């Protein structure tokens, strides 16, 4: 099968390309990127005024299988990904049972091959059962294809154990995806501050994140391992990351669309769709996150797609589950807030959702180079996109962005040369 994409704006940051051209897909590979391609094709897509970009890569997604299929499944979560323009997602291990051994890593791969419509890369847990007392079998998980290790949902409290995990990860060339939270300082349900006081809610202080950011960068530095910091949310974390990079520590960091778009001031009542961990911080913190994306201190945008059942959100704010869905809102929020807001160029935005996450994983994806696997997304960047939660493909509906006016619609998602989304609709 040959697909010819005509006259699109090809944005391929890995190859420094941002120009109007054609792109030819042959089978599962990108055959040619050039002006005026005249090859015969089985399908021709007119991409005039559209962006043609590498398929998006999300380092941080909760697909909930095994164990929490009432929230999301690999079938629904990967369809949500495809609708959002993602062709590869990394699945966090806080499942039930926890993904802490090679059998569960294999299980997720098998399920993804059977039910999924995009690539799923399993992440293994750092400790057995995420209990924080004994390391999981990192080597065996690496052998069968775990792409990283993470304790996401919490930090590994014991610094000696974390240091050992970093040593092992280095040995198997895996990045460590670090949820930074000192639990003794995080016994609340929103950001600590005036808004929490006004609402009578207990707060989570910024230093709960910053303490572990600092600790784990020190540990990574001392064993010379790579560390990737998840969902950075505070201005002080950004300062620390910047300094660590200047000192040569192999640290990368991600920010979520909700942390660069919203702040605690958007929490005006007890709508648990605004509850996540880390919480929405102050306006000043959100501004620091946008600035860090601009100056490169934060090189990755990841969603922390965290689906929950309506019943787990339709309850008291303090009792509600943490997290929001993010796959179907990420790119339009990036275009609206970061590109239209003047923080990033289109190419810089796309880099943070394609080649930069690919580099964190050390995989050969996230570019439109000739000969690469044909993971391609086509976006109308000018379409107004008012989010309609009822139309989302995710099984879950927990998002604070219902009715939000964002910018840009995904028209096509092509995975290994196979069209999964066409004219904004799922084909599978």
**Cα 383 versus chain centre, distance:** 23
Give the total residue count for the chain: 428
Which one, 47 or 147, has the nearer CB to ligand DOR?
147
- Using alpha carbons only, give the angle 18, 2, 117 rounded to the nearest 5 degrees: 80
CB atoms within 10 A of CB 181: 23
Per the annotation, the verdict on 380 as an active-site residue is no
Interatomic CA distance for residues 356 and 13, integer angstroms: 9
Task: Report the residue number whose CB is nearest to ligand DOR.
Answer: 323
From Zn ion, ligand DOR, none, which one binds at residue 195 (CB under 5 to 8 Å depending on kind)? none
From Zn ion, ligand DOR, none, which one binds at residue 293 (CB under 5 to 8 Å depending on kind)? none
Shortest approach of Zn ion to residue 93 CB, angstroms?
10
Shortest approach of ligand DOR to residue 258 CB, angstroms?
9
Interatomic CA distance for residues 394 and 385, integer angstroms: 17
Q: Which of 387, 407, 278 is nearest to 337 (CA)?
A: 407
From ligand DOR, Zn ion, none, which one binds at residue 352 (CB under 5 to 8 Å depending on kind)? none
Shortest approach of ligand DOR to residue 262 CB, angstroms?
13
From ligand DOR, Zn ion, none, which one binds at residue 322 (CB under 5 to 8 Å depending on kind)? ligand DOR
Which residues are 412's β-sheet partners? 378
From Zn ion, ligand DOR, none, which one binds at residue 94 (CB under 5 to 8 Å depending on kind)? ligand DOR
Which one, 152 or 299, has the nearer CB to Zn ion?
152
Interatomic CA distance for residues 137 and 64, integer angstroms: 21
Interatomic CA distance for residues 265 and 272, integer angstroms: 14
Asked whether 164 and 191 are in contact (CB, 8 A), the reply is no
Interatomic CA distance for residues 139 and 146, integer angstroms: 9
Shortest approach of ligand DOR to residue 318 CB, angstroms?
14
- How many distinct helices (H) and strands (E) make up the chain? 13, 19
Which residue among the candidates 12, 65, 304, 375 is catalytic per the annotation? 304
Shortest approach of ligand DOR to residue 144 CB, angstroms?
23
Binding region for ligand DOR (CB under 6 A)? 62, 94, 152-153, 179, 276-277, 306, 322-323
Which one, 22 or 178, has the nearer CB to Zn ion?
178
Among all residues, which ones are annotated catalytic? Answer: 304
């Amino acid at each position: 099968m040959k697909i010819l994409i005509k006259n699109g704006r090809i944005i391929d940051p890995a190859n420094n390309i941002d120009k109007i051209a054609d792109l030819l897909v042959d089978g599962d590979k990108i055959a040619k990127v050039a002006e005026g391609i005249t090859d015969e094709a089985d399908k021709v897509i007119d991409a005039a005024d559209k962006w043609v970009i590498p398929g998006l890569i999300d380092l941080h997604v909760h697909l909930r299988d095994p164990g929490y299929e009432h929230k999301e499944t690999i079938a629904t979560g990967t369809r949500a990904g495809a609708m959002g323009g993602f062709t590869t997602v990394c699945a966090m291990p806080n499942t039930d049972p926890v993904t802490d051994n090679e059998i569960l890593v294999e299980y997720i791969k098998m399920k993804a091959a059977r039910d999924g419509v995009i690539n799923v890369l399993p992440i293994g847990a750092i400790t057995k059962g995420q209990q924080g007392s004994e390391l999981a079998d990192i080597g065996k998980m690496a052998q069968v294809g775990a792409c990283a290790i993470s304790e996401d949902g919490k930090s590994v409290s014991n610094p000696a154990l974390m240091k050992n995990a970093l040593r092992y990860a280095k040995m198997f060339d895996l990045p460590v995806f670090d949820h930074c939270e000192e639990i003794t300082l995080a016994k609340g349900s929103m950001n600590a501050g005036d808004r929490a006081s006004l609402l009578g809610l207990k707060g989570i202080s910024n230093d709960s994140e910053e303490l572990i950011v600092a600790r784990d960068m020190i540990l990574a530095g001392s064993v010379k391992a790579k560390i990737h910091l998840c969902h950075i949310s505070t201005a002080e974390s950004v300062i620390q990351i910047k300094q660590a990079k200047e000192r040569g520590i192999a640290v990368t960091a991600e920010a979520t669309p909700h942390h660069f778009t919203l702040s605690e001031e958007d929490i005006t009542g007890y709508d648990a769709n605004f509850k996540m961990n880390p919480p929405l911080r102050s306006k000043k913190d959100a501004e620091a996150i946008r600035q860090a994306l601009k100056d490169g201190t934060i090189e990755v945008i990841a969603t922390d797609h965290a689906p929950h059942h309506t019943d787990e959100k339709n309850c008291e704010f303090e009792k509600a589950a943490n997290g929001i869905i993010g796959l179907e809102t990420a790119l339009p929020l990036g275009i609206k807030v970061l590109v239209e807001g003047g923080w990033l160029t289109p190419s810089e935005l796309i880099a943070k959702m394609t080649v930069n996450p690919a580099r964190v994983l050390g995989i050969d994806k996230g570019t439109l180079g000739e000969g690469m696997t044909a993971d391609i997304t086509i976006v109308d960047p000018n379409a107004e996109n008012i989010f309609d939660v009822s139309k989302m493909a995710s099984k879950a509906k927990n998002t604070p962005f219902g009715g939000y006016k964002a910018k840009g619609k995904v028209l096509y998602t092509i995975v290994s040369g196979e069209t999964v989304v066409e004219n904004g609709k799922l084909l599978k």
